[in-house]
Structure 1
Amino acid sequence: MADIHRLLPGSGLYITGEHFMRVNHCLLGLKGASADTLTHVHSHEMALGQCRNLIGELGLKPVVSADTAGAARELAEAHEVGHGAIASKLAGEIYGLDVLRENIEDSQQNTTRFLIMSASPDDAVPEDGDVITSFIFRVRNVPAALYKALGGFATNNVNMTKLESYQPNGFLATQFYADIEGHPEDVPVRLALEELNFYCSQMDILGVYKAAPERADLRGD
């Protein structure tokens, strides 16, 4: 998420690992409610996006909340008839809500990736096997800078598994967060990062860590 990427460089924290968690969403309602009586549904914007099919099927108006558990709590406290929440089954139990529908996420592989952070670096070594390198960068303000900066990953056969842009200071400068497969000491990765650096005004490695075993399952290896 862009907010996290913006905060990471100045946080003093390092990425030391990752964890993938299967996420099951439930449609929650007040006691005695049914899915057909709802008009609005509250949840975190990501959860709302992950449950578009059901929201469209029921004709619900989505309402963004700070997080999924908070949406359940707010529903229980406000006690608004016709309103529901998308959250976990546990959140429903905690706040005394009925589970109206279970497993409502659009994708059967609905998974959230969590980063493990530490106040001190604990970089993996090349011998650790599958390794992920995460970094942020800002390209120089020249034509085709991003295209040229990323070209080294293609020519050196380095797989980039994630690339997100965000703007920490308005529209003045765009920064990017990226994950790649490989260790900075691997020759292809080293060459790709050298080429990236040439076209960048800033490049900071946030962590070098073992790839979670779930990665292979998610990509069908």
Structure 2
Amino acid sequence: MPQKIAFQGELGAYGHEACVTARPEYTPLPCGTFEDAIEAVRSGSADLGMIAVENSTYGRVADVHSLLPKSGLHIVDETFVRVHINLLGKVDAVLSDIKQARGHPVILPQCGEFLRTHKITPRSSSDNARAAREVASGDDPGIAALASELAAEIYGLKVLAHNIEDNARNTTRFLIMAREPDYARRGPHGMMTSFVFRVRNIPAALYKAMGGFATNGVNMTKLESYMVGGEFTATQFYAEIEGHPDDHAVKLAMEELGYFTDLLHVMGTYPAAARRHEKAGSAT
């Protein structure tokens, strides 16, 4: 039986593109929500999950960092997808025909300049690939979808305009989740470790908790806070560092962090993607 990788969205979504790029040997499994994709892995319906966590233009994907710690899954890899937004129409449509373009609310402002220039009205859809499917099944040549070229191939649409995103480096980062962790690998571009923690209720706890990373020379690439349980006083932090928990410096930093926290959970250790080391202007 072929292995499966779950993603949020319909076939042709950018999550589908991430699956095809990063795990071409797996069969993509579309899921309605991130919760559904996580549950597919947890239940064994899928072997891996491809979860979008942040976009270079839009920022953090809402709710994902609060979903992942509760998932019971482990991060085993990361991948970056260059998000090329394309205007997809019926096969007999031309750009001047298009009066309305449909896409996910996140993607609409990412190509706002193009839509304004061509006097195209943006309309929200729950999923970019769904918008493409609905354009294909509809009969209005004045309606287009904002989606990937993969979606155009799947639904038999014509690309009326390529790469219309405002930001030339528009990129989405995905985390690959599995039921079991994998601490054995060492990546050619270094390792990343993701974890969540909650500091103890003592003065300057966060400052003291972070001190161990500075004194041990461990680079923290991300630190984000979010509320848990709807309480303003119950703030949890999501962090990412360069290194492996077995590294001496990381081990010392994590031990010091433990002194000032009442919750510390490592969500995964995984190879850093080569894309992390690209210089500005090198993205394609």
Instruction: Give % identity.
Output: 52
Partner of 2:195: 135
Contact 1:124–1:210 under 8 Å retained in 2: no
Does residue 170 (structure 1) correspond to residue 230 (structure 2)? The answer is yes
Residue-by-residue CA offset, 1:118-175 (whole Å, 9 max, x unaligned) = 2111114679771110111223345554444334323333222223333342244332
Structure 2 residue identity aligned to 1:196: L
Once the two structures are superposed, what CA deviation does each residue of 1:85-144 show, in whole Å capped at 9, x if it has no partner? 210112123323332210122333333322222211111467977111011122334555
- Whether the 8 Å CA contact 2:77–2:177 is kept in 1: the answer is yes
Amino acid at match of 1:194: E
Measure, in 2, the Cα distance between the counterparts of 1:147 and 1:30: 56
SS at structure 1 position matched to 2:278? helix
Partner residue of 1:182? Answer: 243
1:197 corresponds to 2:258 = yes
1:14 aligns with 2:42: no
45 and 190 in structure 1: CA distance in 2 versus 1, 3 angstrom threshold: farther
Aligned to 1:51, the other structure's residue is in SS state helix
- Is 2:269 the partner of 1:208? yes
> RMSD of the alignment, in Å?
3.1
Larger RCO (CA under 8 A, 6+ residues apart) = 1
Structure 1 portions without partners, runs of 5+: none
Structure 2: how far apart are the matches of 1:190 and 1:156? 9
Which blocks of at least 5 consecutive residues in structure 2 are unaligned?
A: 1-60
- Give TM-score scaled by structure 1 length: 0.80
Deviation per residue, 1:14-46 (Å, 9 max, x gap): 111222233322012345444455454322344
- Residue 106 of structure 1 is aligned with which of 154, 162, 166? 166
Runs of 4+ in 1 over 6 A off after TM superposition: 126-129
Q: Contact 1:136–1:176 at 8 Å: present in 2 too?
A: yes
